[in-house]
Amino acid sequence: MQNAVLHSIGTSVPDRVVPNSYFDELLGEPVSEWLEENVHIYERRWLEENQSVSDLAVEAARKALEHGGLKPTDIDLLIISTDTPEYISPSTASKVQYITGMTNAGTFDINTACAGFVTALDTGVKYIRSDENYRYVMVIGAYAMSKYLNMQDKKTVTLFADAAGAVILKSEKNSERGYLTSQLITRGQYYNYMGIYGGGSFCPTTEQVVKDKGNLLQFVKKFPKELNPEMWSMMANTLSERIGVSPKEVDHYFMTQININSIWETMDKLGVAREKAPTVMHHYGYTGSACIPLALDAAWRNDKLNKGDLLYFIGSGGGLAFASAAFRF
């Protein structure tokens, strides 16, 4: 049987660095200290006005190809996960395919918000495992939320940032490494808690929508504080039960990077050392569907990943959508 293995990775972040001090002046109140002490964010990266999410996706894709020793034409399928797309239609993936020269790749976008990268990873795996014609599948988590921020909303403007991460999945027969199991869960009752609610068919963009900032990211209701730690630890336990290991046997946990305290609480619930969950929000801010591949890339570049390591990917995002997957590196 053929399985999907993690072949290579590439990431991209904007050149523009936005330090916490920027928001002290923007908001007219000292928020730097709170950001550093409570969410451990010191700076983030934002796109320039003339840049868009495809710029990040293209750069991440090219790096993943280079690191994997592949040509653009080697890719059979390109899946982009983003809730900050280039356009409502057509797909961001079609533009990225054209610019990068991945002319043999079929394309589509998916949107499960910040759970999107793991959802796309799981989708790519299913293509490889079910159809021998898919040898290389590229999955990109791309995020340009700075384009959708209300600059006077301190709940969002200080946290969200831009980045992209690309992973290439390779088909290998009878491999002892690669994909092991996964799980997707949605708690749809939270669909109207957080999102960008203007611009779709329910609320098309009009002058009034723009005036009311309905085309920007909004936290409408407060999520239960315990929700992510409970869901993440439950999903980690489910993965462990399915593959017959204990949570302590997992080498690395790559989780959504919106709140370091939620990550630590999850690890504490699992009885696993916090150090097994690398974090990257400190200098990149919250990068949504790109944050998990950013953390994976940082671990790879810092020689933290070894052949045979057991990796858990656990993401969550608006909707609320949750996605998890286990891989042997």
Output the tens digit of pLDDT for each of the chain's 329 residues. 899 999 999 999 999 999 999 999 999 999 999 999 989 999 999 999 999 999 999 999 999 999 999 999 999 999 999 999 999 999 999 999 999 999 999 999 999 999 999 999 999 999 999 999 999 999 999 999 999 999 999 889 999 999 999 999 999 998 889 999 999 999 999 999 999 999 899 989 888 888 878 889 998 998 998 999 999 999 999 999 999 999 999 999 999 999 899 999 999 999 999 999 999 999 999 999 999 999 999 999 999 999 999 999 999 999 999 999 999 99
In a shared domain, residues 158 and 193: no
Distance CA 310, CA 329 (A): 6
In a shared domain, residues 169 and 275: no
Q: 165 vs 52, 81, 111, 289, CA distance in Å?
A: 15, 10, 15, 8
Report the CATH number that the domain containing residue 194 is assigned in CATH: 3.40.47.10
pLDDT at site 9: 98
| Half-sphere exposure at residue 173, Cβ-oriented, CA atoms within 13 angstroms | 4
Q: What is the DSSP letter of 36?
A: I
In a shared domain, residues 148 and 230: no
Q: For residue 169, which phi and psi values (nearest 5 degrees)?
A: -95, 135
Q: For residue 186, which phi and psi values (nearest 5 degrees)?
A: -130, 135
pLDDT at site 205: 86
Looking up tokens 């991209």 gives 12
Q: For residue 207, which phi and psi values (nearest 5 degrees)?
A: -60, -35
Which of 150, 176, 202 is the endpoint of a domain?
Answer: 176
pLDDT at site 128: 97
Sequence-separated (6 or more) residues with CB below 8 Å from residue 113: 83, 195, 288, 289, 317, 318, 319, 321
Number of structural domains found in the chain: 2
In a shared domain, residues 192 and 128: no
CB atoms within 10 A of CB 117: 38
Distance CA 284, CA 280 (A): 6
**Do the beta carbons of residue 9 and residue 64 sit within 8 Å?**
yes
**Region of 303 on the Ramachandran plot (φ > 0 left; ψ -120 to 50 alpha; else beta):** left
Distance CA 113, CA 318 (A): 5
Looking up tokens 């052949």 gives 307
Which of 112, 143, 176 is the endpoint of a domain?
Answer: 176
Q: What is the DSSP letter of 31?
A: -
Can you list the positions of beta strands (E) in 21-161?
43-46, 77-81, 106-110, 136-144
In a shared domain, residues 223 and 161: no
**Region of 194 on the Ramachandran plot (φ > 0 left; ψ -120 to 50 alpha; else beta):** beta
pLDDT at site 238: 98
Which of 176, 201, 218 is the endpoint of a domain?
Answer: 176
Distance CA 182, CA 235 (A): 9
Tokens representing residue 24 in the block? 């002290």
In a shared domain, residues 28 and 167: yes
pLDDT at site 261: 94
In a shared domain, residues 132 and 202: no
Segments forming the whole domain that contains residue 227: 179-328
In a shared domain, residues 154 and 289: no
